[in-house]
């Protein structure tokens, strides 16, 4: 995420930057790797979405949230399209993860409020997310899983 931009203040350049980072890059990388993935006969694409794809995110993140929802839907469509080629497509959807982004763009009070609302009573870490990527990328573990979004959020969506 490149920042929070209120709807009335979002510039065309900011919009294009968000869409390029979150949508266009996913399509370009996928298109570029498809010949190699098809040649492998058994491959996996694991894209990153966000809890914001389902919730709409915080104020100022409407375009970010919509772009992540695009990636989830695009991945599901790809899963159907590429399954005959032996390519599985899934997503990991992190919840609120303790990262530099939140240190820059979220207040301490907001993060504490979020932490208290999570059933596991903590923010996630990158280390919480990594096993999901490994699981979805490994055919021995997830060879019959495609078109799914795995939520890594400490129960944030069950509240």
Residues that are catalytic: 64
**Is the Cβ–Cβ distance between 52 and 155 less than 8 Å?**
no
Query: Which long-range contacts (C-beta less than 8 Å, at least 24 apart) are formed by 22-29?
Result: 22/64, 22/67, 22/68, 22/70, 22/71, 23/67, 23/70, 23/71, 23/74, 26/71, 26/74, 27/74
């Amino acid at each position: 995420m490149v920042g929070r931009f209120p709807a009335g203040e979002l510039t065309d350049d900011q919009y294009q930057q968000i869409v390029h980072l979150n949508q266009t890059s996913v399509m370009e990388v996928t298109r570029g790797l498809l010949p190699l993935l098809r040649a492998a006969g058994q491959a996996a694409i694991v894209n990153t979405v966000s809890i914001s794809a389902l919730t709409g995110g915080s104020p100022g993140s409407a375009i970010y949230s919509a772009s992540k929802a695009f990636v989830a839907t695009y991945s599901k469509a790809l899963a159907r399209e590429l399954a005959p080629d032996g390519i599985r497509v899934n997503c990991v959807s992190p919840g609120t993860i303790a990262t530099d982004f939140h240190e820059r763009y979220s207040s301490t009070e907001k993060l504490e409020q979020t932490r208290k609302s999570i059933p596991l009573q903590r923010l996630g870490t990158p280390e919480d997310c990594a096993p999901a990527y490994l699981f979805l990328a490994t055919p021995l573990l997830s060879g019959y899983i495609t078109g799914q979004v795995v939520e890594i959020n400490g129960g944030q969506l069950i509240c």
